[in-house]
Amino acid sequence: MVSRDTNLSSSRSRAGGRKRRNTRPLDEVSLRDLALHYAARYATTGAKLETYLARKIRERGVAEDDEGRVRELDVSGLVTRLIELGYVDDDAYARMRSRDLTARGYGKRRVEQALRAAGVEEQVREAHRPGETESRRAAMLYARKRRFGPFGNRIDRDASADVRHAAKEKQIAAMLRAGHDFDHVRFIVDAAETVDIEEWLAQAQEDDVEGRREGGL
């Protein structure tokens, strides 16, 4: 049987072995190091990085200089410099985030919300908003994953009209919450067969190709 003293000693030993968080006040050098570490570890935007650094300053405070004075740290200037050096790239972040969300089946409204929350400017958000083909593909993927419409969980045709209506509305509501356009959602939920949705996606792809051809791309 292990004694209580042994357990306490072991607990203290484990606690003492943990790496303590650095709580020393920040100066220009340590703030820069924090910013570089964060930018290297996470895909981020200028706004997200500035928010992170401001929080660290609130938590740890600002170091005094040799004369005992506290100098204001230029967070905005540091972030701007990292953007200029290419450590932080809002455009690259927006492109990556947009592709990631659509690949997971989310619609363009969810993409817009995510980029806005990350502090991405409107012009950059617009440049990376999913087009018609990407939006249809994401809607189809989401419906397939959730087994909506003709992808499964078919609404019982023998059920009452109220039951069938409620089941369809539930699927529609879920897809709308995922950020999909109502017209896309309605088409998928009402589709008789999966081939109808595949042809619907193929048509958007053809329209994209035709549009690029007409645009000389």
Distances (CA, A) of 206 to 44, 131, 139, 199, 203: 35, 13, 18, 10, 5
Reported as a single tens digit per residue, the pLDDT across 26-42 is 999 999 999 999 999 99
**C-alpha 21, offset from chain centre:** 28
Q: Can you give the pLDDT at residue 155?
A: 59
Q: How far apart are alpha carbons 27 and 63 in whole angstroms?
A: 5
pTM listed for this prediction: 0.80
Q: How confident is the model at residue 208 (pLDDT cuts 50, 70, 90)?
A: confident
Q: How confident is the model at residue 88 (pLDDT cuts 50, 70, 90)?
A: very high
Q: Can you give the pLDDT at residue 167?
A: 87
Mean pLDDT taken over the chain: 88
Q: Can you give the pLDDT at residue 11?
A: 47
Q: What is the 3-state secondary structure (H, E, C) of 180-216?
A: CCHHHHHHHHHCCCHHHHHHHHHHHHHHHHHHHHHCC
User: Is residue 97 over pLDDT 60?
Assistant: yes
Q: Which of 27, 37, 77, 36 is nearest to 57 (CA)?
A: 27
93-127 in b/e form (b: 16+ CB < 10 A) is bbeebbeebbeebbbbbbbbebbeebbbbeebbee
DSSP state of 156: P
User: Is residue 211 over pLDDT 90?
Assistant: no
> Mean pLDDT throughout 128-150?
96
User: SS3 of 26, please?
Assistant: strand
